[in-house]
Amino acid sequence: MTGFGKAVGAAVVMATLAGCAVGPDYQRPTAPTPAAYKEQGDAGPDAAANGLWRAGAPQDAADRGAWWRLYGDPLLDGLESQVAVSNQTLKGLEAAYRQAAAVTDAARASFFPTLSLDASGERAKSVAGGQTSLGSSKGFVGNTYNTSLGASWEPDLWGRIRRTVESDEAATEASVADLASAQLSAQATLAADYFELRSEDALARLLEATVTAYAQSLQITRNQYAAGLAARADVAQAETQLAQTQAQLVSVGVLRAQLEHAIAVLIGKPPAEFSIAAIESFPGVPPIPAGLPSALLERRPDIAAAERRVAAANAEIGVAIAAYFPSITLAGSSGFSASTLGSLLQASNNVWSVGPQLALTLFDAGARSAQVEEARAAYDQTVANYRQTVLTGLQQVEDQAAALRVLARQAEVQDQAVASAQEAERLVLNQYKAGTVAYTSVVTAQAVSLSNRQSALTIAQNRLTASVSLIEALGGGWERGQLLLRPVAEAGSAETP
């Protein structure tokens, strides 16, 4: 049997032995999850009508990713679709994912032999005898040509490479989940900014209508003053009220412009090249399917990322334990060596070598034990982080569900207050026209009416924001199965050289 044949036979034996992987096999750690959300029990029979919860129903045909379509706003749909491909923060995270994937590929390459090809030519002088009386040495000048093909392979006897690949794969999946989490956060931020912008549009419409009404009140007051039925102070009060409301209307433009700029950055555009036209409609709060708390483990990308880091840390324990065992490397080479290039590849000039190499650390003053303990401590830390992430997710769901429940009730009461304030404003203005009350009563009634309508708008905006936050807390449309898929944002990396 040739030297390479023996090497192949030894490799087969080693590969047969390489069937174990030291270290603990991964099991997903338990996490505290209740049987149902607290707010599901407190929401009451009118929860669906108030936009809080909806009972679970089959939705296999639904597009689970585009959660913002619940709001039925085509412009919002168009803006959200640009986040994944244009947001620069997501592009950075997508590059981090590709980096992690490359590390995993490099680790997988360790399963296979390494082949190398070497060729060299050398001209040298060699000494044939002692030195002459003049000090020069005797010798001859000759050529040497070499070529060789080498191979080396470290069988994964103790599973060190497998555990390394396992850790890198889990880290890659964590990067995918990080990307999905950041994308969900950016989408939710955009939706919240968009709804706040629409709230500012609604506020501007309210103030414009109020300015028109106050201008009419001012004209009535001036007419009353001209007829000698009102004091000059009434006119001054009406003028002051009108000017204050006009100033309030102007100030609305500041926040709206800032929100427009924020949305532009979220979709990867310069603010100077982006604008959103005002519209008359104001979106409502849709019912949101909550599901069970246990589903949160599959629906939130940040929880998935934390769990994948637990898996990576678990595999690192095996890598650390494998250092206790010897490493065996099989190496061999075959080639030719000759003094003339023409005879280099003749069979008589063939040279080869083959043999195993064993390496084992006999004493390291406890370094390996410390590394194993370090790996176990890192694993315990990731488990704690995972469970804390789950608890935080449950808290966020309960917080936003409670906010929706309370805000829905507040909206009902506030609507009643708006109706009462508007009726009071109408009655007091009629009384003023009849000369039975002073103009201060009109100013007070109008101010109360405007304040209540502004509060109603604020509550409506808060409900929309809470609904977006609840959807984000529930994981949006993300599913755990997407961990192994090519991230959506990677499509935007095609321009990278």
332 and 173 in contact (C-beta within 8 Å)?
Answer: no
Average pLDDT of span 10-26: 63
Average pLDDT of span 322-338: 84
Average pLDDT of span 52-59: 38
Which CATH number characterizes residue 89's domain? 1.20.1600.10
Q: Is residue 50 part of a domain?
A: yes
Q: Is residue 132 part of a domain?
A: no
The answer on pLDDT for 374 being more than 90 is yes
The number of domains in the chain is: 1
Q: Residue 262's pLDDT band (boundaries 50, 70, 90)?
A: very high
Domain containing 53: what range?
A: 3-125+139-493
**How many angstroms from the chain centroid is the CA of residue 24?**
29
Average pLDDT of span 64-88: 85
Q: Is residue 88 part of a domain?
A: yes
pLDDT score at 377: 96
Least confident of 13-17, 430-434, 459-463: 13-17
64 and 477 in contact (C-beta within 8 Å)?
Answer: yes
How far apart (Å, rounded) are the C-alpha atoms in residues 325 and 22? 10
273 and 264 in contact (C-beta within 8 Å)?
Answer: yes
Q: What is the mean pLDDT of the chain?
A: 82
Q: Is residue 130 part of a domain?
A: no
185 and 472 in contact (C-beta within 8 Å)?
Answer: yes
Q: Is residue 421 part of a domain?
A: yes
pLDDT score at 7: 46
How far apart (Å, rounded) are the C-alpha atoms in residues 21 and 57? 44
Average pLDDT of span 157-172: 89
Q: Is residue 182 part of a domain?
A: yes
Q: Residue 136's pLDDT band (boundaries 50, 70, 90)?
A: low
How far apart (Å, rounded) are the C-alpha atoms in residues 331 and 328? 10
User: Nearest CA to 155 among 104, 115, 111, 108?
Assistant: 111
How far apart (Å, rounded) are the C-alpha atoms in residues 406 and 12? 69
The answer on pLDDT for 47 being more than 50 is no
Phi and psi at residue 353, to the nearest 5°: -150, 145
- The partner residues of 115 in beta bridges, in order of sequence, read 151
Share of the chain above pLDDT 90, in %: 43
Half-sphere exposure of 266 (CA within 13 A, CB side): 25
Least confident of 188-197, 211-220, 263-272, 344-353: 344-353
Two structure tokens written together for 436 = 């039975």
Half-sphere exposure of 217 (CA within 13 A, CB side): 32
How far apart (Å, rounded) are the C-alpha atoms in residues 50 and 47? 5
| pTM of the predicted model as reported, rounded to 2 decimal places | 0.79
Q: Residue 275's pLDDT band (boundaries 50, 70, 90)?
A: very high
pLDDT score at 62: 37
* DSSP at 29: P
**Which of 44-78 are b and which e, b meaning 16 or more Cβ less than 10 Å from the residue's Cβ?**
eeebeebbbbeeeeeeeeeeebebbbbbebeebee
Share of the chain above pLDDT 70, in %: 85
Average pLDDT of span 36-52: 58
pLDDT score at 418: 96
Q: pLDDT, tens digit, for every residue of 232-248?
A: 998 999 999 999 999 99
How far apart (Å, rounded) are the C-alpha atoms in residues 454 and 444? 15
Q: Is residue 330 part of a domain?
A: yes
* DSSP at 154: -
pLDDT score at 48: 45
Q: Is residue 133 part of a domain?
A: no
Average pLDDT of span 86-105: 82
How far apart (Å, rounded) are the C-alpha atoms in residues 333 and 352? 5
Average pLDDT of span 313-342: 85
